[in-house]
A and B are shown apart, each in its own frame.
Chain A
């Protein structure tokens, strides 16, 4: 208790209201999860609609977690999400850096048009073109009704490269001094070796930023998988979690437990990579 008083004394009085507001907003930010967590830990004899509501479960239990884990293949959803997010990240890193390099460093016919065509894709919202994207994906047989591998490819391909990534990599290449390439050329490297051995290692920080934000975007993607997926065994986590609602219609203990389980991986990822998100340097990289 005295520690707490000392803490209060250590705060300057004028900062007190700043802390009050920030604590209030922080609590609002996590309260929906806290309440979900609380519900997920309540036993079947405890009324989850009790008035007044209790945050700390009276009859604490893991039973809902065990139950939902046995009835829903959350592990499979997790693996599907990992495959899709992993594939999307890998392709974005490769395609964006490949495309960013000539835009930053080379002169060629049609450079301006290419540049503005890529820029134009930023203005085209996926939601407006999703129907033809679906029709094309069907035509290419990239759907889970053909086989699982093609299903994964179909989930990945529409997001395999983004204008954001290409411009990020272009900017990274622009920042490298030209002497680096000249030295490599003198040493007898060809253009692909220059790219692979000299330039790519120098843009690692940008690759990391691109990887992290692509991963977050892909991990949370809901619209596209819910359009293309037909088999439950192919569900990614967001689709699978949404499906919990249908499976356990009013069993909120299970729905809550399943939702909490599905959130753990991304929270761990966020805490591990937090400097990329809250340092203020990569603002606006996640899609809003």
Chain B
């Protein structure tokens, strides 16, 4: 095809997006790194050069370790559940049965609704004399401090994240299930394989890339949790629900310790970028046509 555009045309088309991405992504990205080597702890107006001091302090900070442990709990609990339950539901919904659209709508609803409203709704379920404690009492169990007991609070918050994510990952799986050849299932039916054998031998191997994709996406989201914490617990009780993003927020916007907050942000950046890199170059090549 003949070239119908001038030399400058491609750049003119790219310019508006480039300006936004440079101002609001690339400059902040490098500024985060620069800030992490500065000392704002004595004065916010006259920062000094800190070298690695912020990083060393982070490594000495017991709250930071608590935050890391919370993040690991989040990953260990939420990620496997979000990889398995939505897959199971997608398999169930991917059949010719009545009411599928209604099921999809209802299960997808939590994805659409604002996380703030979701967190408030759960806070109400978790109330001291709330309905969940009532259910526990009916089952002859003692009431628990869902959001007030450091032992349970993080799990109560994780439940909200899982509840809000199930429909989202179910739809990803549903799309993947469409690509599984029907003949394979027919072969299974002839062999008389049961539900679980059929899906463990045909479905799971076939959509392994999607399972891996869901695992990395949900890991990345787990590391970015903020709103649930902000609305429900503010990181408490006793830092038991403090996540890395919430801690960065607190350090940056409440304590105004910009250097310290940025050093933690750099740590978050590195971890998330590793996961995203794997994601893009292993599982999403098609999406970006690499």
Residues of A with Cβ closer than 8 Å to B?
10-11, 15, 18-19, 21-23, 25-26, 28-30, 32-33, 35-36, 39, 49, 51-53, 94-96, 98-99, 101-103, 106-108, 111, 114, 117-119, 121-125, 127-136, 157-158, 160-161, 166-167, 170-171, 174, 178, 181-182, 185, 191, 194-195, 216, 219-220, 222-223, 226-227, 237-239, 241-242, 244-245, 252, 255-256, 259, 262-263, 266-267, 270-271, 274, 277-278, 280-281, 283-284, 286, 288
Contacts of B169 on A, CB cut-off 8 Å?
288
In the assembled complex, B121 has its CB within 8 A of some CB on chain A: yes
Given contacts A167-B287, A277-B108, contact A49 B129 (CB under 8 A): yes
B90-132 interface code vs A (CB 8 A; 1 in, 0 out): 0011010111011111111111111111101110110101110
Distance in Å from the Cβ of A271 to the closest Cβ of chain B?
7
B174 nearest CB across to chain A (Å)? 5
Q: Which of B16, B18, B174 contacts A94 (CB 8 A)?
A: B16
Nearest residue, chain B, Cβ from A171:
B289
User: A177 to nearest B CB, angstroms?
Assistant: 11
Whether B152 is near chain A, meaning CB under 8 Å from some CB there, is: no
* Contact residue among A10, A101, A157 (Cβ-Cβ distance under 8 Å from B24): A157
Nearest A-chain residue to B9, judged by Cβ:
A191
Measured between beta carbons, the chain A residues less than 8 angstroms from B104 are 278
CA distance A232 to B277 in the complex (A): 39
Q: List B238-283 residues whose CB lies under 8 Å from chain A.
A: 245, 248-249, 252-253, 258, 261-262, 265-266, 268-269, 272-273, 276-277, 280
Residue of B nearest to A277 (CB): B108
B117 contacts across to A, CB distance below 8 A: 36, 238, 241, 259, 262-263
The interface stretch among B57-65, B67-75, B200-208, B226-234 is B226-234
User: Is A133 a contact of B231 with CB atoms below 8 Å?
Assistant: no
Looking at the assembled complex, report how far the CB atom of A270 sits from the nearest CB atom of chain B, in whole angstroms: 5
For residue B25, which residue of chain A has the nearest CB? A121
Let me know if B218 and A288 touch, CB within 8 A.
yes
Known: A99-B17, A267-B112. A108 touches B124 (CB 8 A): no
Q: Which residues of B from 160 to 197 have beta carbons under 8 Å from A?
A: 163, 165-169, 171-172, 174-176, 178
A170 to B289, CA, bound (A): 10
Q: Mark B1-41, 1 if CB is under 8 A from A, else 0.
A: 11111110111011011101101111111011001000000
Closest-by-CB residue of B relative to A170 is: B289
Cβ of B17 and Cβ of A161 under 8 Å apart?
yes
Chain A positions within 8 Å of B5 at CB level: 106, 191
Measured CA separation A227–B226 after assembly (Å)? 12
Do A101 and B253 touch across chains, with their CB atoms under 8 A apart? no
Which of A22, A167, A223, A244 has the largest number of chain B CB atoms within 10 A? A22
Contact A136 B27, CB 8 Å, known A278-B101, A288-B218: yes
Q: CB within 8 A of B29: which of A22, A99, A124, A252?
A: A124
Contact between chains at B258 and A131 (CB < 8 Å): yes
- Residue B288 at the A interface, CB < 8 A? yes
| Known A29-B163, A216-B112: A96·B178 in contact at CB below 8 Å | no
Residue pair A129, B230 in contact (C-beta under 8 Å): no
- Assess the B262–A277 pair: CB atoms within 8 A: no
State in angstroms the CA–CA spacing of A165 and B226 once bound together. 24
With contacts A106-B9, A256-B124 taken as known, whether A283 is within 8 angstroms of B174 at the C-beta atoms is yes
Given contacts A99-B17, A271-B105, contact A278 B230 (CB under 8 A): no
Within the complex, what minimum Cβ distance (angstroms) separates A261 from chain B? 10
CB distance from B278 to the nearest CB of A (A): 10
From B28, B113, B261, give the contact of A33 (CB < 8 A): B113
Say yes or no: B224 contacts A281, CB within 8 Å.
Answer: no
Q: Which among B14, B166, B175 is the interface contact of A98 at CB below 8 angstroms?
A: B14
Known: A121-B25, A262-B117, A280-B175. A98 touches B97 (CB 8 A): no
Whether A102 and B107, one on each chain, are in contact in the complex, defined by CB atoms closer than 8 angstroms, is: no
Residues on the B chain within 8 Å of A181, using CB: 1, 4
> What's the minimum C-beta distance from A250 to chain B, rounded to whole angstroms?
10
- Pair A238/B116 contact, Cβ less than 8 Å: yes
Give which listed residue, B97, B122, B262, contacts A19 with CB less than 8 A: B97
CA distance A281 to B32 in the complex (A): 37
Whether the pair B265, A128 counts as a contact (CB closer than 8 A) is yes
B89 in the interface (beta carbon within 8 A) = yes
Q: Is the CB of B13 within 8 A of A99?
A: yes
Nearest CB of chain B from residue A15's CB, rounded to whole Å: 5
Q: Which residue of A lies closest to B274 (CB)?
A: A123
Cβ 8 A contact of B277, one of A123, A220, A267: A123
Residues of B within 8 A of A136 (CB): 23-24, 27-28, 31
In the bound complex, how far is the Cα of B118 from the Cα of A101, in angstroms? 38
Considering the chains assembled together, what is the distance between the CA atoms of A278 and B105 in angstroms? Answer: 7
Complexed CA–CA distance, A110 and B83 (Å): 39
Smallest CB–CB gap between B290 and chain A, Å? 8
In the complex, what residues of A have CB within 8 A of residue B113's CB? 33, 220, 263, 266-267
- A29-B109, A127-B268, A242-B116 known; 6 new pairs, CB 8 Å cut-off, are A35-B121, A123-B273, A123-B280, A129-B31, A131-B35, A288-B221
